[in-house]
Structure 1
Amino acid sequence: MKHLLNLLAAIALLVWGTYLVRTGILRVFGANLRAVLAGSMSSRPTAALAGLGVTALVQSSTATALIVSSFVGQGLVALPVALAVMLGADLGSSLVAVLFAQDLSWLSPLFIFVGVVLFMSRQDSQAGRFGRVLIGLGLMLLALRLVAESTAIMAASPTVRTLLSSLASDILLEIAVGAVLAIAAYSSLAIVLLAATLAASGALPLDVALGLTLGANIGSGLLAVMVTARSALAVRQVPIGNLVFKFAGALLAVLLIGPWVQHAAPITGTAGAVVFFHLAFNAMLLVLFMGLTGPLARRLHALMPKPDPSLLTGRPDHLDPSALATPSLAISCAAREALHQADVVETMMHGMLRVIETNDLRLAGELRKLDDTVDQLYSAIKYYLTKISREALGESESRRWTDIISFTINMEQIGDIIERVLIDVEDRKIRHGRSFSTAGMDEIRELHARLVDNLRLGMSVFLNGSVHDAQKLLEEKARFRELERAYAGAHLARLRDQTVQSIETSSLHLDLISDMKRINSHICSIAYPILDSVGALAPSRLRPTATPPEPSFAAAPEAAPSQRAA
């Protein structure tokens, strides 16, 4: 019982070490890995090479599958090229298995010691994250040695030998067990290394270990399909196509197990025979199926046609659940959906002026429904972000997480203000047949045009993080405030001149320009995190005086008036 527990603990340590390496690499190189993949899609050979390199670093073809699938879902990569990336990714994973199958146990204490020193001394830096990777590598090497020691003892037990011999009777059972283990461990690499170690210790017959290796390959494909099961149709096509290749390759590889055991094992050794079989299997997939990615992609498109896209819907199109396993990728998905929310707000803003000008009640009703869409998007994005592991985010990605939350809150509040403006216009202007004076309407148009321009600038600041644009956006806040005061004064002058239209719409006009100033304040709030991160925010808007200062320039947008005029 003790030896079985030691074996289970060693296997768990192997899986945990693989997880530490994968998440650590994604923290250090996450954005760069996506850039490498995105920039290597000009042809299928270069795409396969990029997939090989990225997976060799991440040590997880599943993680690569999630990144590439999201590219396909966003329309950035064609499906045939994405399938080529996955063929290269599987080969990269098998190369890592060959490396770890070597006797590198002497590196384990070195990696763990250096990794712990780096991680404990500089946790939030790149060096600290690299230390996490070294800890994972050290634990993997240590776990492989512990597995070998535990299995060597257990292999002498007649009961264990009888249990393991039952696997040798059915190749389908071996493949099924390997697939289940790969899914449970979230890593085909860990299962291949485990099978190689068990075979080398004599606990498993070599042919059984090869069957488990085939199963681990299929299991990694099934895992990607399961993780993306709730994603958009285009996202699911990549893992399904990759699984088709794996199944087809496994049917061929089953016929090669006997000759491989007979001819390869004497040359490579038992453990080497397992990992080199894994390598040969994935190399065979690359050679045989590289030219078939196009036909398979066409077949998948025919069997899984994309639905017609809808421009403005409450469905969070970009919030891919499968990307949550790769936090840096999930952050990008949330940012794209936040921009979609801003697009809906911009539609509401354009429609608001049309309602004011044309008294269109039907349009006003449609725009108020769009506020529900904005609220739904806000809730979806917020919930999606809460499911992202903050622990797995680097410093810049953690700031981006906060920026996205802040941006979506501002968009949601702008939507609420526009909805209230539309209700006011309906109740206090349209239903009473009133209209603004020509001068008043020109002022509203001027403020509205500035609002639209500032919203677009704010979206650009959110997307690109430009300090120059953020400063320009903040300057617009001061200009808008001056215009609001000037136009309020001009309105009061028209009241003194007894302008009938101005008298009838006085309270609505003042409330409207006040609401537009509040909308602008929310837009300008997008600039605060960018400027604060570079120390460009002034501590106060006022010169020092004997009286208490007003709130800082980075304060929240102006509060709503406590009570509207009747």
Structure 2
Amino acid sequence: MTILSLLVQLSSGAMLLLFSVRFMRIGIERLWGVALQYALAEGSSILPGLLRGAVLGFVMQGGTVVMLMAAGLAGSGAVSISSASILALGADLGSAIAVGFLQLPISAVGPLVILIGATLYLRAPQPRLRNFGRVVLGLGLIFLALSIIRASVEPIANLESTAGLALYLTRDTIAAALAGIGLTLAMHSSVAAILTAVAFSGIAIVGPAAAISFVLGCNIGSALLPLWLLKGESKRTRIVPAAVGVLRVVAAMLVIVFLAVFRASVDNVVRLGSAQAMLVCHLTFNFLLLLSAPLCRRLARDFEVRLAQPVEQDDASIPAGFIEDSSIAEPAVKRKLGTMLDLASSMLDEVTCNLPEAEKIRLYEERMNATLTGIRDAYARVNSSDDASLAGLQQIVDFAIRIERCGDVLAGKLLTLRLDQLRGSYQFTEQGNREITEMVEAVRRTIILAHETAWTGDPVPAERLVRHKQHVSDLEERSRHRHLSRLRGGNLISLASSNQHLETIAALKEINSKMATIGYAVLEQHGGLKKTRLKSSVTGSAT
């Protein structure tokens, strides 16, 4: 019965730790999600990329999340493969720093942190303050989870088998490494695995060589985990975790073999306790791994040449691993939604350029349709009993359907009008061209605001999006009135292109209105439409 109680308490502590990290991460994404994406997408040289990745890994409390985000951006072509690999390599160091940070004595203030965070999360009137409270509360819950894990493993010290297990791991560094790999894959987090092992080492002393080998096993597990999570993604997306993973696995295995051969010498030379050896090894290994950044970038480029598919052929489906885990299903779907918005932006750029290519736009539309199919399929198969989570997914699906409609307009009506113009079938007046260009630029801003609103769910950009939508509607109305005035003034160019001008601005207005619907959904969710006049003044044109 003691063993059963121990397993329940240890498992509950580990699950609370995983929940706390994800709970905190959601708040971080909602507060700074767009800034994080911009930081990921910003190209840079090696050193700035490593530093940026380290900061992101620390903030996100894990390198795996940053790896998945960087791989997704690289897979969609938003960032180069080599830059994404450098970011992911730096994120592993940030994750190692986070492990050390969570072991500091500041965990004693955990109850106070929980009190402050819970108060903000439950009582704060503003969404940003509530999300900040979520971050603080998540940190406090991490401290609580660690205290539960430490308390649950203390009785193990009195078990006869504990000393035998510690002795076995001390003598067999390969088994210690395999234990680290298994625990990391089981917990889906090297941070959680190492923190749990550090708590265990406080009552079951293992040799320094075994402790170091265990941590290296955790690093191998963290290298394999993204590859498993992305197993259903395109080859281009998997290049980033493959390049970083090869370096991590090879380096870790070389050290593990060395420890297996010279275990006795290492145990005699290293004068650190088990917990200290784990933390120092984890930080040192990931720091030294940064020296392989040039090799990592070279390896990523070689993989890109050998394995990458064209961006147009990327798989738009969402891997089953994401769908099975409802806690990351929504971020995975949001990433695909971001791909659709990027495609819509690319289609708009192509349609309005000097020489649009119909074939390229057709490929963009095919990818958009395939991505929508993947989003719908994920929504139909996601495993979740949380009504709020399903409502959030349905909101994303509804918006994705509207984006796909924007793609139809861009690849249909607007492209046809543009090609007819290039063939000389009609021409716009100089003033008419300026009006259309102004609307196009305004729609581009709408797409950016829609991207931010969809990713963060924050009512502040949502309100900006809705108000900007009304601005574009005003631009369309003014352009229509000015066009009619030109007709009454006898402008023959306006008369000859009247249908095309009116259809063009109407199509741009439709695209803009579809893009703005996510703003209404977010404001409705936060009660923003009830507190302002937005609902009565502009919701009539939201559909």
TM over 0.5: yes
8 Å Cα contact 1:63-1:325 kept in structure 2: no
Distance 1:113 1:339 in 2: 41
Give the letter aligned to residue 278 of structure 1: H
Q: How many residues align?
A: 489
Q: 2:511 aligns with which of 514, 518, 523?
A: 523
Once the two structures are superposed, residues 179-224 of structure 1 have per-residue CA deviations (whole angstroms, 9 ceiling, x without a partner) of: 2221221210111111122112126555443332111111111111
1:479–1:381 Cα change, 3 Å: farther
SS at match of 1:230: coil
CA contact (8 A) 2:223 2:249 kept: no
Spell out, residue by residue over 1:506-562, the C-alpha distance to the aligned partner (whole angstroms, 9 max, x if none).
xxxxx9999989756633524765997799x9889xxxxxxxxxx97642589xxxx
Amino acid at match of 2:54: L
Whether 1:460 aligns to 2:444 is yes
1:411 is aligned to 406
Q: 1:81-102: per-residue Cα shift (whole Å, max 9, x none)? A: 3333233222221122222233
Change (3 A) 1:522 1:111: same
Q: Take 1:144 and 1:472, find their aligned partners in 2: how far apart are those partners?
A: 51
Unaligned stretches of 5+ residues in structure 1:
351-362, 423-440, 490-510, 541-550, 559-566
CA contact (8 A) 1:539 1:552 kept: yes
What runs of 5+ residues in structure 2 fail to find an aligned partner? 418-424, 450-463, 489-498
8 Å contact kept, 2:39–2:52:
yes
Question: 1:87 maps to which residue?
Answer: 89
Q: Given residue 285 of structure 1, which amino acid in structure 2 is its aligned partner?
A: L
Indicate which of 154, 157, 176 corresponds to 1:155. Answer: 157
Q: Once structures 1 and 2 are overlaid, which stretch shifts more, 475-484 or 242-251?
A: 475-484
Bigger mean CA offset, 146-155 vs 455-464: 455-464
Greater Cα offset, 99-108 or 61-70:
99-108
Comparing 16-25 and 183-192, the one that deviates more:
16-25
Aligned amino acid, residue 177 of structure 1: A
**Match in the other structure for 1:474:** 473
Alpha-carbon separation, structure 2, partners of 1:236 and 1:32:
24
Question: Structure 2 residue aligned with 1:261, among 259, 264, 267?
Answer: 267
CA distance 1:538–1:294, change in 2 (3 Å): closer
Q: How far 1:452 sits from its partner (Å)?
A: 8.0
Preserved contact between residue 319 and residue 337 of structure 1 (Cα < 8 Å) = no
Distance of 1:515 and 1:388 partners within structure 2: 44
Give the distance between the partners of 1:260 and 1:391, measured in 2 at CA.
54
Cα separation, 1, equivalents of 2:379 and 2:440: 24
Matched, 1:286 2:285: no
The residue aligned with 1:277 is 281
Separation in 1, partners of 2:17, 2:252: 25
1:201-220 matches, cutoff 5 A: 201-202=203-204, 204=206, 206-220=208-222
CA contact (8 A) 1:327 1:392 kept: no
Structure 2: distance between partners of 1:292 and 1:36: 23
Q: Does 1:12 align with 2:37?
A: no
- For 2:508 and 2:40, locate their aligned partners in 1 and report how far apart those are by CA, in whole Å: 39
CA shift in 2, pair 1:470/1:219, >3 Å: same
Matched AA of 1:475: D
Q: Which residue is 2:252 aligned to? A: 250
Distance in 2 between residues matched to 1:119 and 1:144, nearest whole Å: 22
**Mean Cα deviation higher: 98-107 or 330-339:** 330-339
> What is the DSSP-based 3-state SS (H/G/I as helix, E as strand, rest coil) of the residue aligned with 2:309?
coil
Which whole-Å CA distance do the structure 2 matches of 1:314 and 1:231 have between them? 8
Compute the TM-score of the two structures, normalised by the length of structure 1: 0.68
Q: Which amino acid aligns with 1:555?
A: G
* Other-structure match for 2:540: 555
Contact 2:110 2:143 (8 Å CA) reproduced: yes
Q: Per the alignment, do residues 13 and 208 of structure 1 end up closer, same or farther by CA in structure 2, a change over 3 Å counting? A: farther
1:43-442 superposed matches below 5 A = 43-122=45-124, 125-163=127-165, 165-168=167-170, 170-202=172-204, 204=206, 206-254=208-256, 255-256=258-259, 258=263, 259-264=265-270, 266=271, 268-287=272-291, 289-304=292-307, 306-310=308-312, 316=316, 325=328, 331=334, 333-340=336-343, 378-381=372-375, 401=396, 404-405=399-400, 407-408=402-403, 410-411=405-406, 414=409
Specify the alignment match of 1:25 in structure 2. Answer: 28
2:317·2:374 contact (CA, 8 Å) conserved in 1? no
Q: Structure 1 277/368 Cα, relative in aligned 2: closer, same or farther at 3 Å?
A: closer
- The structure in which a higher percent of residues are helix is 2
Q: TM-score, normalised by structure 2?
A: 0.71
Alpha-carbon spacing, 1:230–1:552, altered in 2? closer, same or farther (3 Å) = same
Residues 30 and 131 in structure 2, CA contact (< 8 A), matched pair in contact too: yes
Q: Distance in 1 between matches of 2:519 and 2:22?
A: 36
Distance 1:299 1:373 in 2: 26
- Equivalent position of 2:420 in the other structure: none
Change (3 A) 1:322 1:456: farther
Pick the aligned partner of 2:37 from 34, 52, 76: 34
Shift of 1:282: 1.4
Partner SS state of residue 104, structure 2 = coil
Post-superposition offset of 1:226: 1.4
Structure 2 CA distance for aligned equivalents of residues 136 and 75 of structure 1: 33
Percent of aligned pairs sharing the same letter: 22
TM-superposed deviation, 1:178 = 1.4
C-alpha displacement of 1:72 = 2.2
2:40, 2:352 → 1: CA distance?
Answer: 38
Deviation, 1:44, is 0.6
Q: CA RMSD in A?
A: 5.2
- 2: CA distance, partners of 1:149 / 1:370: 55
What's the secondary structure of 1:59's corresponding residue?
coil
